[in-house]
Amino acid sequence: MTNIALSKRLAAIAAFVKEGADVADIGTDHGILPIYLCREDSSRKAIAADLRDGPLAAARKNIQKYHMEDRIELRLGSGVSVLQNEDRIDTIMIAGMGGPLIVSILDDGRDLVNSLPSQLVLQPNVAAVEVRQWLLDNNWELMDECIIEEDNHYYEILTAQKGDPEKPYRQAAMSRGAALLFGPFLSVKKEPAFINQWKREQKNWESIGRQLSRAENKEEVQSKKKLLQQKQEWYKEVFS
């Protein structure tokens, strides 16, 4: 049996999926993640969905290569609209997109998202804060987070289940804003990738601050300065 070598990012996503869970991979691209998960658990089934024909064709080729035609179903369509309640999916995975797009997908499919899976595994490329806010606003409890560095990029992975959405924020020894931006679990773990990510971001904020100091003192500029100052205060909360 040919082994599947997952990237660090995909391996971290796979590690969060509950044992025995049937999965839906939204925006599956090449289909490698559901293939890997099904090979790791012989009882698991999966739905691999994408908006475009090209990625689905690549996924189909890989599914055939690994003889997973009877375990993984391909679906063409937008977001979670490809799913039905009869699918009995346990875990929805959405990875490799910006935070705002993930939030849009979750919003558009809110009824299905809130009725179908018991777990969400989400990997925003940027703006993880928006994903955390959506989970909080929609009664999903953030259960854990991790961060990995790969090819000079940082990826945050979040897993959530239905429960008490306030719990991780009540337990965080920091303000709500800081916990949402930095992550209530990541802020405690302070893994090397987390520290490196925010050191880089801090330098970016300093550069933005210098640009704003030279800009005209308009209302929009003042608003950006205020937000930047707030982020700097949250940074001190987490790293002081």
Sheet with 23-26, side-by-side order of all strands: 72-76, 46-50, 23-26, 91-97, 119-124, 153-162, 140-150
Question: 171-182: per-residue pLDDT in tens?
Answer: 998 999 999 999
Question: What are the pLDDT digits (tens) for 133-159?
Answer: 999 999 999 999 999 999 999 999 999
Residue 227, in any domain of the structure: no
pLDDT of residue 218: 80
Domain total in the chain:
1
Q: Rounded to whole angstroms, how far apart are CA atoms 43 and 48?
A: 16
Note the pLDDT tens digit of each residue in 54-102: 999 999 999 999 999 999 999 999 999 999 989 989 999 999 999 999 9
- Asked whether residue 215 is assigned to any structural domain, the reply reads no
**99 lies in a domain?**
yes
CATH number, domain of 91, equals 3.40.50.150
Angle between helical axes of 219-239 and 192-214 (0-180°, round to 10):
150
Q: What is the mean pLDDT of the chain?
A: 96
Could you tell me if residue 63 is inside a domain? yes
53-65 helix and 32-40 helix, angle to the nearest 10 degrees: 30
**Does some domain include residue 3?**
no
With bands split at pLDDT 50, 70 and 90, how would you rate the model's confidence at 214? confident
pLDDT of residue 1: 56
Q: Is residue 105 situated within a structural domain?
A: yes
Which domain, by its residues, includes 41?
A: 8-126
Is 231 within the bounds of a domain?
Answer: no
With respect to residue 161, please indicate whether it lies within any of the assigned structural domains. no
